[in-house]
Structures are given as structure tokens and as C-alpha cells.
Homo-oligomer: A and B are copies of this chain.
Amino acid sequence: MSSILVLPGDGIGPEIVDEALRVLTAAQKRFDLDIQLDHALVGGAAYDAEGDPLPESTLAKARAADAILFGSIGGPKWDNIERDKRPERGLLRLRSSLGLFANLRPAILFPQLAEASSLKPEVVSGLDILIVRELTGGIYFGQPRGIKEENGERVGFNTYVYSESEMKRIARVAFDLAMQRGKRVCSVDKANVLEVTELWKEVVTEEAKAYPEIELSHMYVDNAAMQLVRAPKQFDVIVTGNLFGDILSDEAAMLTGSIGMLPSASLDENRKGLYEPCHGSAPDIAGQGIANPLATIMSLAMLMRYSLQRDDVADAIEAAVEKVLDQGLRTGDIYTEGTRKVSTGEMGSAVAEAL
């Protein structure tokens, strides 16, 4: 038996997670899956109910589960509360407490949605990049940090820090994943300016020796931001730190034009993982039944693949998504003339049915 903790979160989170659960039910019927589901509060919803974006009870359940299906968090409602209580901090503490250091963010162009990209078709057709982002270290968690008073004025400061072992383990994840793909890894740093990334480059290079088949290259982050726009298909796997990964994975996702389609996985050493869509909580459209549930459904597929080791189920879910796209079903965010606009619920049902 496997246990999945469901954390719907805020904004459109609950709606899109509901559709993923509908697909899960269909998958349980078709496959031999023994899954126990549990639910808990996180983010703004948890703050409202218990004064904490990551209550102890939620964390305990998350620790106990084999995998976590996560919706999305945040919204203007919680913008002005005390820093440590904001929804985002709940997610950051969850990542860190569970040691979910490996964030996998695929940027894939669905041929059915090629038109949605702001890039020319020939630049992005067939795009399939995997960004591997370190998720529990770097400047996101570095100490010291804060805002202090110095010489009569305020000074803000954060610390960008990585140890060799943190760098090694994320490099290995990237190399292992690349071995199952195009065997090319591009490590992104700013080694010409930042010592921490100079060490990063060195450690990644050393680690690569254990992977003779991997073609490793290095790129400065400013150049990577350019190359993603110029010729994104040059990349197979990109590995980088927490902050650069945050920026580049969003840029890469947007190349596809359909951020409502992109899932992500955040894994620990034992492939226990948290799975969430790349997009945010979209408070402006929450509750209207128009959000795109496909990124969350694809996140469920990743959950099957990585944490439950059920490639067959993952493949089937992904195939079902392709099928409804082929049928011309589209939520508002990916709608184009000649296709059929459907609601969040209709899209979820269609995928469940296709399964």
C-alpha cells in the first residue's frame, strides 16, 4: 500500500487537485493500485485555520506519506501578514523539512499547443528540456539573513551558500536523469563572479567523472537566459542552484506558452516526493471553474513514475492527457479558435474517461 497526502492549498489549488483526484480514482480502477489518501491544510488556508502556513499536524502527515500531491499557495489576502507566516514560507519549510532537494521541472511543448508559444514554431517545436533545480539550499536558506540597521540606515542581506555534498547530490540526480534521456547536462553558474558557483562548477565537473557517457557543459546564468530564448532546443538537462533554477525554469516553462500544462516533482534521497503544478494559485480566477487542471494531472503522473515506481500508470495518464488534447478540448488559458472550450471539471472528467 502507498499513501498519498493531498495538500490543495489556496486559490485554484482545491479545484485543480480535485480533478487530479478524479483521474487518480480512474487510475485505481484500471490498474492494481492500493493507495491510501489523506488530506491536510497548507499555505494561506492553514494560516487562516491555525495561524501557521505549515501546521505541525500537516508536517507530521507529510513525513508519514510516501508522496504528496500539492495544489498551489498564496494570494493577495496574505501579502501583508508577518513574514514567517506567509503562505510561501509554508512551502519552503515543507521542502526543507522533508529534504526535497531535487526539483525536476520539465519544459515540454505539446505539439497540439504549439501555437500558444510566443516563439517561432521552428524555434520551439519538439522542445523537451528538463531543468533540475537544487531546492533546499543556496540563497533560499542561507544564514545569516535579514534586515539590520547600520550607520543610520537599513541594510538588507542574504547568504548564498552551498556545501560540496549538496552540490554533489544534485549533480548526481541530473546525471542519472540525463542517462535516461539525451545524456547531455548543462550546468549553469556565475563562476566568473560568484565564488559559491565557482566551487559548484568544480564539484559538478568532478562528479561527472563517474558518468563517462554524459556530455557535460557549463554556461553562465546570463548566457543561459539568452540561449533559452535564442535556441532552447540545444538543451537536454540543465542543472543549477535554487535561485537560478527558479528563474530559468520559469523562463523555460514560458517558452512553451502553456504554463498551465507543466508539472514538477521535488524529491528526497529516497524518491519520496512532492508533486505540484508549475503555475501559481491564480487568485483572480479561483472558484470560477475555469482553471486548467492538466499541470496537476501531469504532476500526478510524475508521482506515479518517481515515488510509486509505476511507469505504466504514469504513461497511461500522460497518454490520456494527449488524447483529450487531440480531441480538441481546451481550458480558457490554452484555447484557440477551432478547439472546444471546457471547464476545469469537464477537462478532469475527460482525462479520467480517456483513462
Contact = CB atoms under 8 A, between A and B. Distances in A.
Nearest to A280: B223
A40 to B, nearest CB: 22
B161 A156 contact: yes
B195 A146 contact: yes
A194 B160 CA distance: 11
Interface string A241-270: 001101111110111010100000000000
B150 A156 contact: no
A159 B226 CA distance: 25
21 contacts: A86-B192, A119-B120, A150-B163, A153-B164, A155-B163, A156-B194, A157-B161, A158-B161, A159-B160, A190-B243, A221-B246, A222-B247, A223-B250, A225-B225, A225-B251, A226-B250, A226-B251, A226-B253, A226-B254, A228-B251, A229-B229
Contacts of A160: 139, 157-160
A257 to B, nearest CB: 8
Contacts of A253: 226
Contact of A162 (B146, B155, B192, B193): B155
B156 A88 contact: no
Interface stretch (A179-187, A197-205, A304-312, A318-326): A197-205
Contact of A164 (B154, B164, B227): B154
Q: State the majority secondary structure of interface residues on A.
A: helix
A147 B198 contact: yes
Contacts of A153: 163-165
Q: Report copies per complex.
A: 2
Most B-side CB within 10 Å, residue of A156, A163, A193: A156
Contact of A229 (B74, B92, B154, B255): B255
Contact of A231 (B88, B118, B147, B165): B118
A51 interface: no
B195 A156 contact: yes
Contacts of A248: 225
Residues of A in contact with B, size category? 35 or more
Contact of A246 (B86, B222, B243): B222
A196 B83 contact: no
A145 interface: yes
A230 interface: yes
A163 B329 CA distance: 52
A332 interface: no
B119 A142 contact: no
Given A157-B196, A221-B247, 4 more contacts: A88-B193, A147-B198, A226-B259, A230-B254
A37 interface: no
A123 interface: yes
